[in-house]
Structure 1
Amino acid sequence: MALILVADDDITTQLILQHALEEQGHQVYMAEDGGIALSLARKHHPNLVICDWMMPRVDGLEVCRSLKADPELTSAFFILLTAKENMTDRITGLDSGADDFISKPIEIEEILARVRSGLRIQNLNQALLKSNQQLVQALSNLQQAQVQLIQHEKMLSLVQFVAGIAHEINNPVTFIRGNLDYVSQYTANLLEVVNLYQKVYPQPQPEIQTKLEEIEVEYIMDDLPQVLKSMQQGTERISNIIQSLKNFSRLDESEKKLADIHEGIDNTLLILQSRLNQNRDHPIQVIKLYGQIPQIVCYPSHLNQVFMNVLNNAIDAIAQHKKNHPFLEPKIWIKTEACDFTHPHQSSTQAIRIRIQDNGTGIPQEIRRQIYDPFFTTKPVGSGKGLGLSIAYQIIVEKHKGTFKFCSELDKGTEFIIEIPLHQH
């Protein structure tokens, strides 16, 4: 059974068509003018429409154009009833979107045959539309899976590299740090012996006195403890860096955990330190405006990916801008703050907001709608895969139920605004 709409201002034609179609088991709605026909179509979404060309107020051509322009009604098979036989009128009807014509006076058998044919075509079109939608969804799913796979491999390679370096550095640093305590103790003992000798033998032999003056023993005795102290501070600094590298490389953490966002940003900046200082004359200044924000339950390593991708893009944009503006003072601002968050499907809750702003080239208006698309990139061939912002968007919006937005101005820079709710459902 199909749902059919009949629009005709002739009551006799209405009754004939209604009777014939209902005998075939179809559900029929009747309209005496084009305006009523459009209202009924929008309400009931018919499978097929039989509409007279010549009607008062709204004629059949206007009904046809309106239905075919509506995405929800365009699939309805449209049959135009007409007494017009010339080719020009038929072309006009086809251009308006009509699928078939029936000439007046009507022949019931012909109408029923055209209806059967039209419904077959409409069913095929519906099946084709559904298949196309499934293919589009499948393609989208495939692209997203491909994005995640490639980005995972990229991050895994980086993580393995970082973890390997941290491991290799950690061994000799641990050795040095462990022996510095002994060196400090030995040095203190030796200096104590020297002091004792100076006390017991205040007037050494000329040869010894000459050597003491040559090596500036007083300076050594004063400076050596300071050197050892600096070495201890240096090894502690290296140990802290190694710990930051290890924290960044925890890609295997698949569960959410309580994490400090500031620590994640700092660890990421440490990884990018060489890029930030690539131009030694004009290194990129990072201005951190950290607010009072609580720790949040999240996927820390995934958020590190987001920070890495956004900051990498900022560095690229600044480098490009610097070529055309050599006196530019390159800067990146990172600001964090607590805020209110309202999700479309959730009640208002507390959140944290992270703003990352650069004074780079900015994003051209014509590509702003595409920057989250997988594999879209503005970088030269081989230097970018178009995955960074796509994967960042997925991590924030899908994994953390937050928002990932940006505002940009050409030749002024770009700011990405990330909001993550404290309580995620």
Structure 2
Amino acid sequence: MILSATEPNQIDILIVDDTPVNLRLLADMLEERHYNVRKALNGNMALLATDKKLPHLILLDVNMPDMDGYQVCQQLKKSEKTRHVPVIFISALDQARDKIKAFQVGGVDYVTKPFAVEEVLARINHQLELQRLTNDLRDRNQELEEALMKLKFTQAQLIQKEKMSSLAELVSGVAHQINNPISFIYSNLEPANEYIDSLLNVINFYQKHDPDSLQNAENPLQELDFEFLESDLRDLMQSMYHGADRIRSIVLTLQKFSHLDESDIKWLGINQEIESTLTLIQYDLESRNIQPIKWVKNYGNIPNIMGCPRDLNQVFLNLFNNAIEAIEDAQETIEPTVWIETKLADEHHVHIAIENNGVEISEEMRSQIFDPFFTTKLGRNSQGLGLAISHQIVVEQHGGRLTCESLPGDHTAFIIELPIKGKIEDSSRDNDREV
């Protein structure tokens, strides 16, 4: 904590001296100039007084019983709370080594007794002005750092939004390009299978009613294992049917995930959006040959909500990826599991929980996990933006809540609460429930 003041009656000065006469002399001198003065007769009292209320400046004697001024100053400089308070030593000791030690322990000035009143006042004013300028500079630096952080985050958001928009366009374009030929193939597989059945039936009929012709060397069936060909052809057509059906399913998932041709804000089904995002994740897991993950789904009977499906799918995608990476980083032998739960939080809000049994997130990290550019993924190519952007989408864009909680069994859960009717109609919640 750093104090700043401009008027004398706003400035609090602590005088520390074991001689009451000296205390009274300095106090009278400063109070005449309208400074607020507190007094301490020893080092322990000085530390207690400083801890109770932070002064703007301390006048500190060196020679005191139990704890001298050097020791008091050292204690003050060790504390983050008091280390910035300027300390001026006032002492009868006038040797160079005494002054050097005062500066070594953290003092900013040294006045020898007997002192001139105007000299002490000039040194006090000088240090207070230095402190004011230092505080102003520190405040400006903090403001600049905060502004730079906001600028970086806004820039990162724009880049991420553009990336997601480009991804949605790419996904939608690829899905559209694939959808036409695969629909043609899929729709023709059934008649093709019927034609093959008809041809095989003809051949079987021919074999049954004219077996002698099979002995003819010119008969092409002589060179074929017809029974194998018939069985394998049926299996092949069935595999082609399943493959085409899987491609159609992937294309449908891509179209659902991108929502490119839909309005930004619409009524949407949370369970369906989670499921489409999860399907996309599972395709990716299969292609990366990652250890199988058990997905435990507990979808509640919840109403549609008003929101932006593309942005909420980005949130779900980020949280699923975060859970997968936590599981990958876990060293223990466990059954990798992600639990997904949706339910009504109350009559106005839906509750979504995504829980995993991967690496636990410490309390310290949980307090920073939604900060821009903060990442727990050391060694990974991570900018620390996924959770920050997810928080922005849920909280600022949708008027909801996103929290990270530690659960029994070293589990970690991300909890989302979203208003059913959207951010605009959510003001009633603030009156009914504490934030």
Partner amino acid for 1:403? C
Alignment of 1:294 onto 2:290: no
Alignment partner, residue 388 of structure 2: 394
Say which is worse superposed, 240-249 or 58-67, in terms of deviation: 240-249
Q: Which residue of 1 aligns with 2:317?
A: 304
Query: What's the counterpart of residue 189 of structure 2?
Result: 180
How far did residue 123 of structure 1 move?
1.0
- Alignment root-mean-square deviation, CA: 4.5
Rounded Cα–Cα distance in structure 1 between residues aligned with 2:167 and 2:56: 56
The match for 1:93 is 102
**Change beyond 3 A, Cα 1:250–1:272:** farther
Instruction: Name stretches of at least 5 consecutive residues in structure 1 with no aligned partner.
Output: 277-283, 319-330, 340-348, 358-368, 406-415
Where 1:336 maps in the other structure, the secondary structure is: strand
What secondary structure does 1:300 align onto? helix
Distance in 1 (alpha carbons) for counterparts of 2:67 and 2:391: 47
Change (3 A) 1:304 1:332: farther
Query: Of residues 143, 147, 158 in structure 2, which corresponds to 1:134?
Result: 143
How far did 1:234 drift?
2.6
CA distance in 2, matches of 1:121, 1:219: 95
Question: Aligned pair in 2 of structure 1 residues 397, 129: CA closer, same or farther (>3 Å)?
Answer: same
Partner of 2:64: 55
| Length, aligned pairs only | 368
Which of 75, 80, 93 matches 1:84?
93
**Normalization by structure 2: what TM-score?**
0.68
26, 30, 33: which is aligned to 2:39? 30
How far 1:138 sits from its partner (Å)?
2.9
Q: Which residue of 2 aligns with 1:268?
A: 281
Per the alignment, residue 239 of structure 1 pairs with 248
> Is the 1:253–1:301 Cα contact (8 Å) retained in structure 2?
no
Question: Relative to structure 2, which stretch is displaced further, 69-78 or 30-39?
Answer: 69-78
Cα distance in 2 for residues equivalent to 1:417 and 1:168: 42
Separation of aligned partners in 2, 1:211 and 1:189: 20
Tell me the SS of whatever aligns to 1:38: helix
Q: Which of 6, 10, 25 pairs up with 1:16?
A: 25
| SS of corresponding position for 1:291 | strand
Which amino acid in the other structure matches residue 44 of structure 1? Answer: K
1:213–1:100 CA distance, 2 compared to 1 (3 A): closer
* Contact 1:7–1:52 (Cα < 8 Å) also in 2: yes
Match in the other structure for 1:336: 338
Quick one: distance in 1 between partners of 2:167 and 2:352?
A: 33
CA distance in 2, matches of 1:333, 1:166: 34
8 Å CA contact 1:287, 1:332 repeated in 2:
no
- 2: CA distance, partners of 1:230 / 1:314: 34
Tell me, in whole angstroms, the C-alpha distance in 2 between the residues paired with 1:308 and 1:401.
16
Shift of the 185–29 alpha-carbon distance from structure 1 to 2, 3 Å rule, reads same
Contact 2:31 2:37 survives alignment (8 Å): yes
Q: 1:170 to 1:185 in 2, by over 3 A?
A: same
Deviations 1:324-372 (A, max 9, x none): xxxxxxx996412379xxxxxxxxx994412458xxxxxxxxxxx99x9
TM-score for both structures, normalised by structure 1: 0.69
What is residue 45 of structure 1 aligned with on the other side? 54
1:71 to 72, 77, 80: 80
* DSSP 3-state at the match of 2:270: strand
The CA deviation at 1:202 is 4.7
C-alpha displacement at 1:18, in angstroms? 1.5
1:259 equivalent to 2:271? Answer yes
Aligned partner of 1:353 in structure 2 is 355
Amino acid at match of 2:404: T
Q: Secondary structure at the match of 2:114?
A: coil
Return the match for 2:114 from 90, 96, 105: 105
Task: Tell me: CA distance 1:257–1:89, structure 2 relative to 1, closer, same or farther (3 Å).
Answer: farther
Which segment drifts farther, 90-99 or 34-43?
A: 34-43
Shift of 1:87: 1.5
Change (3 A) 1:337 1:312: closer
User: Residues 203 and 33 from structure 1, CA distance in 2 versus in 1: closer, same or farther, beyond 3 angstroms?
Assistant: closer
1:129 Cα deviation (Å)? 2.0
Paired residues for 1:272-283 under 5 Å: 272-276=285-289
Match of 2:414?
Answer: 420
Aligned-pair distance for 1:80? 0.6
Aligned match of 1:403: 404
CA distance in 1, matches of 2:319, 2:91: 62
Residues in 2 aligned to 1:90 and 1:175: alpha-carbon distance in whole angstroms? 92
Moved more, 261-270 or 204-213: 204-213
2:175 corresponding residue in structure 1: 166
Tell me, yes or no, if the aligned pair for 1:306 and 1:395 is still in contact at 8 Å: no
User: Which one-letter code corresponds to 2:315 in the other structure?
Assistant: H
How far has the Cα of 1:197 moved from its partner? 8.2
- Deviation for aligned residue 1:75: 2.3
- Residue 117 of structure 1 corresponds to which residue in structure 2? 126
SS at match of 2:282: helix
* In structure 1, distance between residues paired with 2:142 and 2:228: 82
Partner of 1:342: none
Question: For residues 84 and 18 of structure 2, what CA distance do their matches in structure 1 show?
Answer: 24
Cα drift, residue 374 of structure 1? 5.6
Query: What CA distance in whole angstroms lies between the structure 1 residues aligned with 2:240 and 2:133?
Result: 79
Q: Summarize the Cα distance change of 1:182–1:113 in structure 2 as closer, same or farther, 3 Å threshold.
A: same
Distance (Å, rounded) in 2 between the aligned partners of 1:404 and 1:161 = 35
Q: Which residue of 1 aligns with 2:13?
A: 4
Contact map agreement 1:397 1:404 (CA 8 A) in 2: no
Flag the 1:18–1:198 CA change in 2: closer, same or farther, 3 A: same
Residues 23 and 253 from structure 1, CA distance in 2 versus in 1: closer, same or farther, beyond 3 angstroms? farther
8 Å contact from structure 2 (residues 295, 340) kept in 1: no
Partner-residue secondary structure (3-state), 1:45: coil
